[in-house]
Amino acid sequence: MTGGDRSWNRPTWTLVGVLVAYYAFPVDLDNHLGIVILSSVLTFVGLLLIGWAMVVELGHVRHGEEGRSAQQLAMLLVLLVMAFSLTFFVLELVSPGQFEDLHTRTDALYFTLATMATVGYGDVHAEGQVARALVAGVIAFDIVVVASLVRARTRANSGED
């Protein structure tokens, strides 16, 4: 993208940075339980903040106010996917058996993307009650906030009411 539109540089580098952080995030349960608990709390707080930002954005767009750019929304969505993936991975480490066939961070990322895209292949799925509650929250958030935000932005861009 030399000399052209560089508006997607920041979201692209954000994706790269978040992927690196996601795979490097410490989750060694044997030696650092305090770090795992702190990390889990921070991840949950991060999920709340990202979710709140998307809900606020939906409110702005629905009221006809100028919303965030597509690039900013893409960055929020990347952060949301990574935070949910890490939450699912850590939950499976803390409480084995919450998910069927979720063994790696890549499994967790795959599961999160399949869930948010409403594909649900079934190979990795929630087994435990905590996992099912979290997945239900992801699905509800995806349907209510993300889909509504995309719909509202599409209508705003096309000039529909």
Separation of alpha carbons 3 and 19, rounded Å:
27
pLDDT average, residue stretch 128-155: 83
pTM of the model: 0.71
Instruction: Give the pLDDT score at 66.
Output: 66
In the chain, the domains with their CATH numbers are 46-158 (1.10.287.70)
pLDDT at 141 over 90: no
Instruction: Give the pLDDT score at 34.
Output: 72
Residue environment code for 26-54, b if the CB has 16+ CB neighbours within 10 A, otherwise e: eeeeeeeeeebeebbeebeebbeebbebb
pLDDT, one tens digit per residue, over 35-85 is 667 766 776 776 677 777 777 777 776 777 666 667 777 777 888 888 899
Q: Which of 48-57, 98-107, 120-129 has the highest mean pLDDT?
A: 98-107
